[in-house]
Chains A and B, each alone.
Chain A
Amino acid sequence: MKNTIAAVFCLVWIFPVYWMVNTAFKPRPEVMTPDPHFWPHHPTLGNFTAAVTQPQFLTNLGNSVIVVTVTVLASIVLGIFAAAALSRFRFPGRRAIMVVILAVQMLPATAMLIPLFTMFNSLDLLGTYSALILAYVATVLPFSIWVMRGFFVAVPAEIEEAAQIDGAGTWRILISVLFPLVAPGVIATGIFAFIAAWNDYLIAYTFMQDEARYTLPVWLASFTNPHTGTDFGAQMAASVIFAAPVVVFFLIIQRNLVAGMSAGAVKG
C-alpha cells in the first residue's frame, strides 16, 4: 500500500521533468501531435542543435557566465570575512546586523527592483554587467553570509583556544585554522550563490533591455514568442541545457539544502 502511494507520487512528481526530456529528444512531427508519444520513437539531437544555434545563445550564455562568476566570487570573498566576524566575535551591533541580513531576503522582488532600477538609471548603468552584478550581490551576499556563518559556528571553540595557546594571533587563527576548516561550507555556499544568480530572470529581463545583453534565463523565456509560434522541441532542449547544471549542483549539495533554503538561498 505505502509502496503504491510512493510509486504514484514519484510518477506524478517526476512527470514534468520526464516530459521535458522526452520532448527534447523528439523530432518535430512527434512533438506536434494530438496523440503524444510517451517516449521518442525516432530519437534525435536536432532540438539541441536548433537551441544552441539560436542567434543569441552563445552571447547570452557568455553574459550569464561572466555575471554569475563575478557575483559568486564577490559574494564569497566579502561574505567569508563577514561570516567570520559574526560567528567568532562578539561586539556591539552584531545582532542588529544579523537581523538586517535576514530581513532583506524577505522583501518582495519588486521592492528591490524598483529602487535599483531608478538608481542605475540615474547612474547610466542600465544594460551593463555592473548593474546586474550589483543587483545579484544584493540578493546573494546576505544569504551567503548567513549560510557561511553556520559553518563557522560549527567549529568548536577549543580549536581556536588551542591555536591561541600556541601563540597564534587573531588573523593567523582566522587564515590558517578557521578558513581551511570551513572550506567545504564555502564551496556549498558558492553553489547556492551560483544557483540564485544563474536562475534570475526578473532582474536581467528588466535591466538589460537588449537581446545581446540578456542572460540565459531571459533567452530561454523568449523562446515563447507569440508571433513566430513556439518550437516546443527546441524550447524543451534549451530548458534541459539550462536546468542541467542546477540539477547536478542540487544533487551535490543536497545535505546542505535545508539549511540554505531557510536562509532564503534558493527561493521556491
Chain B
Amino acid sequence: MKTATAPRHVHAAPTAPPAARSRRRRDPAPYLLLSPAALVLAVVTLAPIGFLVFTSFTDWNQRTLFTGTYGFVGADQYTTLLGNPAFWWSLLRTVLFTTAMVAGSVLIGMGVSHLLTRLGRGWRYTVTVVLIVAWAMPNVAASLVWNWLFQPGYGVVNWMLGVFGDTAGLNWAQDPVLAYVVIWLLIVWQAVPFIALTLNAAETQVPHEYQEAARLDGASEIAVYRIVTLRFLRPTLLLITILSVIWDYNVFNQIWLISRGGPGDATATLGVYTYKTAFVGFKIGNGAAISVVTTLLLLALTAVYIRNLLKAGEDL
C-alpha cells in the first residue's frame, strides 16, 4: 500500500529506469543542472551546519559580536552543558510536552479522519474547509489570537469558563500548568488538520471488502476499526507520528509568543532554552552546543523518517 505522504501521482511513475535514461549515463547534463542549487545549498545549509559544530567548541559570546575574537575551549561547552541541571530539566520538559502534544494531535486527528469517512457530502466538505482554514493560520497570527482568547479580564475563554465560578482574572500565561494547557491547545489545534487529512487520504483507500467481511462476522464498529482499518493505516500513522514528534520537539514560535518560556523557565523547552542562551544571554558557543545535542537526539528519528519517505513512493 502506498502511504498518503507520497505524492499521489507517483503511482503513475515507472519503477524501473527505462533504457532511454540509462543510455545517458555519461551525460554531463544532470551535474550541470544540479550545480547551481548544490552550490547555494552548500553555502547556506551545509557550511552553517559545519560552522555550528565549530562554534560549539568556542566561547563565542557577546564580546565576539563586536570584536570578532573568540577562543577555543575544547569540549568545555559540552561538559558545562551536561553538568547543568537547567539543561536536563529543559530536556525532560521537552520530552513530556512533545509526548502530550503528539498524543493529543494524533488521537484527535485519527478521530476526525474516521469521522470524515462516515459523513455525507455536505458535512464532509464543511469539515474539510474548516480544517484547511485552521491549518492555514500563520503561527504568529494564531499565537496572537490565542493570547486574546485566553486574555485575563476580557478573554472569551475566561468568560465561557465563568459558568464554573469567577474565572475572569485567570492568568493563563503566568501559571506554569495553565501556560502548558494554552500552548498544548494551540499546537493541537494547528496540527490536527494535517494529520486528519493525511490519514483520511489513506483511510479512503482501505478496501471495503475487509471491513464488510468483519461486519458479517459480527464485529462491532469499534472492532472493525481496531482490527481492520487500523492495520491498513499503520504505515501512514507511523510516518505522521514521527513527523509530529520532530515538529513538536522543535516547536518555538508558539511558546515564545505566548509565554516566552515562562513563568520562570516553566515552559522553556529545548528550543526556547537554546534561543534564550544564544540570543538573550548571547552565549552563542553554549547555545551551539545545545543545538548540536538537540539535533543528535533527534537524529535517529529523522533517519527513520527519511528511510520511510524514500521507501514510500520515491523510486531510487
By a beta-carbon cutoff of 8 Å, the part of chain A in contact with chain B is 2-3, 5-7, 9-10, 13-14, 16-17, 19-20, 23, 31-36, 74, 78-79, 81-82, 84-86, 88-91, 94-95, 97-104, 106-119, 121-122, 134-135, 137-138, 141-142, 145, 150-151, 153-154, 156-157, 160-161, 164, 170-171, 174, 198-199, 201-202, 206, 217, 220-221, 223-224, 232, 235-236, 239, 242-243, 246-247, 249-251, 254, 256-259, 261-263, 267-268
Contact = CB atoms under 8 A, between A and B. Distances in A.
B149 interface: yes
A117 B12 CA distance: 43
Question: Which of B153, B168, B250 has its CB near the most chain A CB atoms (within 10 A)?
Answer: B250
A153 B316 CA distance: 11
A242 B51 contact: no
Given A108-B298, A258-B201, A157 B239 contact: no
Question: Which of A9, A88, A251 has its CB near the most chain B CB atoms (within 10 A)?
Answer: A9
B30 A85 contact: yes
Contacts, number: 332
Interface in B156-177: 156, 159, 168
Contacts of B261: none
Interface in B236-279: 239, 243-244, 246-250, 252-253, 256-257, 270-271, 274-275, 278-279
Contacts of A109: 250, 252, 271
A2 B144 contact: no
Interface string B106-133: 0000001001001110010011011111
B40 A141 contact: yes
A97 B34 contact: yes
B291 interface: yes
Interface of B: 4-10, 12-14, 17-18, 20-22, 24-25, 27, 29-31, 33-34, 36-38, 40-41, 43-52, 55, 60, 64-65, 68, 112, 115, 118-120, 123, 126-127, 129-149, 151, 153-154, 156, 159, 168, 187, 189-192, 194, 197-198, 201, 239, 243-244, 246-250, 252-253, 256-257, 270-271, 274-275, 278-279, 284, 287-288, 290-292, 294-295, 298, 302, 305-306, 309-310, 314-316
A159 B156 CA distance: 58
Contact of B5 (A2, A32, A202, A262): A262
A10 B126 contact: yes
B41 A90 contact: no
B247 A267 contact: yes
A94 B17 CA distance: 14
A11 to B, nearest CB: 9
A108 B154 contact: no
Nearest to B11: A154
Given A85-B30, A170-B24, A79 B37 contact: yes
Contact of B51 (A2, A74, A115): A115
A99 B302 CA distance: 10
Given A114-B284, A202-B252, A262-B243, A239 B135 contact: no
A246 B133 CA distance: 9
B159 A82 contact: no
A107 B37 contact: no
A85 B34 CA distance: 6
A142 B40 CA distance: 10
Given A102-B305, A135-B44, 11 more contacts: A19-B149, A86-B34, A108-B298, A110-B275, A111-B292, A157-B14, A160-B21, A236-B145, A243-B136, A267-B247, A268-B248
A223 B6 CA distance: 40
Contacts of A78: 36-37, 40
Given A13-B131, A258-B201, A268-B191, A154 B34 contact: no
B295 A102 contact: no
A13 B20 CA distance: 51
Nearest to B312: A262
A199 B132 contact: no
Contacts of B31: 85, 91
B239 to A, nearest CB: 7
26 contacts: A9-B115, A9-B130, A16-B142, A36-B154, A85-B31, A89-B30, A100-B46, A102-B310, A103-B306, A112-B49, A113-B279, A114-B284, A118-B284, A119-B47, A134-B43, A137-B44, A153-B9, A199-B139, A201-B257, A202-B256, A206-B279, A243-B136, A247-B136, A257-B135, A257-B194, A268-B187
Contacts of A107: 49, 295
A34 B159 contact: yes
A56 B171 CA distance: 31
A252 to B, nearest CB: 10
Contacts of A95: 316
Nearest to B197: A258
Contacts of A161: 18, 20
Given A36-B156, A151-B9, A246-B136, A115 B25 contact: no
Contact of A33 (B119, B130, B154): B154
Contacts of B5: 258-259, 262
Contacts of A239: 141, 144-145
